[in-house]
Amino acid sequence: MSFSLFSPKNRIINFVLNEHSIRFVELKQANPPIAQKWGERFLPPGIISDGKIIDFESLANIIDECIDEWKIHKRSIRFLVPDSLVIIRKLSIPSEIQADEMKGFLYLELGTSIHLPFEDPVFDTFPLTDNGKTKEILLFAAPEKYVMEYADLFTSLKLIPVAADISPLALYRLYFQMDLASQNENLFIVQFDLTSVTMCIFEEAIPYVMRHFPIPFEINKWEMNKEKDGMLEFKYMGDASELAYQFEDILKEMNKLIDFYRYSLNNGKKEVTKLLLSGDHPLLQVILEKVKDRLDIPVTTISLDSYAKGKAGMVPTRHLLSLGLALKEVQ
């Protein structure tokens, strides 16, 4: 006999929005991760750009239709902060700064010893080391204005935002939950989507460095079809050499980040030991083969197999982020 982790009335909806889609997963149980239901809706270009909401009214109307279609009225939700808005920094601060003083101290240091490319950040911290004089922390920051626009949007549609997260943590959470992590592992996560690529390097379960790169997306060069299960399928109809150039550029950026981590951050004493490739790009399998050919690092993917199978069948792999987000605070 098995029991669900949550009672139905307490199950949280997990939203992932990017420039080309809205997705959600409702988790049935966490171990193994099994989804109760999921859904997807295409977003036309220009509604969200560089992680920022450009057309608030159109996005609100589309999400409102999704709420009706997916029957998720007045539910509590988690959502991902767009990767393009997120910065991860390692900082050294005096050891005497206590946990309850951390945010006040960081706000005081903004613009002097701490410099961010935006004003009025919302942030979180994670402790690393403490030698008695100074301690190192990781700072996760994003511009409060744009993060709150998403929270306010959901609230205006009578949804209840209860938590926000970042995509590398969501994906790592699923990777860990499925018992794929190894001890002393330096994992390079590459999330290769239709309109952007996010890269993040983890030591054990800690993300140390993150980069985000937009990808040119011309909708007239893609043929979009809706499958019987409601999922969207994209087929590229343009010049194949254009995508090849895109892939080459991203491979160069991957190599740069690997070298930055090894030499600039660790003086050659640490290196990436494994690469996890994920994402919703229609040619992800082609990208996987290119990565395996070009990088001298073991490359893996997340295969759901018997995991995440709900009443409607197997959860598509492009819902991995939503599934990882659903595991937040349930482990």
| Spatial separation of the C-alpha atoms in residues 174 and 185, rounded to whole Å | 16
Last residue of some domain: 141, 171, 206?
141
The answer to whether residues 149 and 190 belong to one domain is yes
Q: Do 298 and 248 reside in the same domain of the chain?
A: yes
Same domain? For 96 and 160 the reply is no
Q: Is residue 2 part of a domain?
A: no
**Could you give the number of structural domains in the chain?**
2
| Residue 261: DSSP 8-state | I
Q: 107 with 156, same domain? A: no
* Final residue before a domain boundary, out of 102, 120, 141: 141
Query: Which residues are bridge partners to 15 per DSSP?
Result: 24, 79
CATH number for the domain harbouring residue 70: 3.30.420.40
Residue 277 belongs to some domain of the structure: yes
Cβ–Cβ < 8 Å for 15, 80 = yes
Residue 3, token pair as written in the block: 């029991």
Rounded average pLDDT over 87-111: 92
| Among candidate residues 205, 204, 178, 172, the one with its CA nearest the CA of residue 278 | 172
Tokens of 203: 């030591």
Minimal CA–CA distance to 254: which of 215, 302, 214, 201? Answer: 201
- 243 and 193 in a common domain: yes
Count of CA atoms in the C-beta half-sphere (13 A) of 10: 6
Is residue 1 domain-resident? no
Strand 87-94 with 34-42, pairing:
unpaired
How high is the pLDDT of residue 227? 72
Q: Does residue 164 share a domain with residue 109?
A: no
What would the pLDDT profile of 21-33 be if each residue is shown by its tens digit?
Answer: 999 999 888 777 7
The residue type found at 248 is E
Q: What pLDDT is attached to residue 111? A: 85
In a domain, 15, yes or no: yes
The phi and psi torsions of 228 (rounded to 5 degrees) equal: -60, -30
Interval 151-208: pLDDT, tens: 999 999 999 999 999 999 999 999 999 899 999 999 999 999 999 999 999 998 999 9
Same domain, 62 and 150: yes
Q: Residue 40 belongs to what domain range?
A: 8-85+143-326
Does 167 lie in the same domain as 125?
no
Cβ(153)–Cβ(52) below 8 Å: no
Whether 331 maps to a domain, the answer reads no
Query: Tokens 């744009």 correspond to what residue?
Result: 146
Between helices 56-70 and 144-156, what is the axis angle to 10°?
A: 50
Q: Is the pLDDT of residue 59 over 80?
A: yes
The CA dihedral of 52, 54, 58, 60, to the nearest 10 degrees, is 40
Examine the domain organization and report whether 255 and 319 are in the same domain: yes
**Co-location of 238 and 101 in the same domain:** no
Distance from C-alpha of 24 to C-alpha of 114, rounded to nearest angstrom: 36
Say if residues 47 and 55 touch (Cβ distance below 8 Å). Answer: yes
Per-residue pLDDT for 144 more than 80?
Answer: yes
Instruction: Answer whether residue 216 is part of any domain.
Output: yes
Same domain, 137 and 168: no
Averaged over 52-76, what is the pLDDT?
97
**Is there a domain that residue 242 lies in?**
yes
Residue-wise pLDDT for 295-314, tens only, equals 999 999 998 765 545 455 57
The full 3-state SS of 179-209, as one line of letters, equals: CCCCCCCEEEEEEECCCEEEEEEEECCEEEE
pTM score over 0.75: yes
Q: Which pairs count as long-range contacts for 264-271, CB under 8 Å and 24+ apart, including other chains? A: 265/208, 265/209, 270/186, 270/203, 271/186
The CATH code of the domain that includes 95 is 3.30.1490
pLDDT value at residue 283:
94
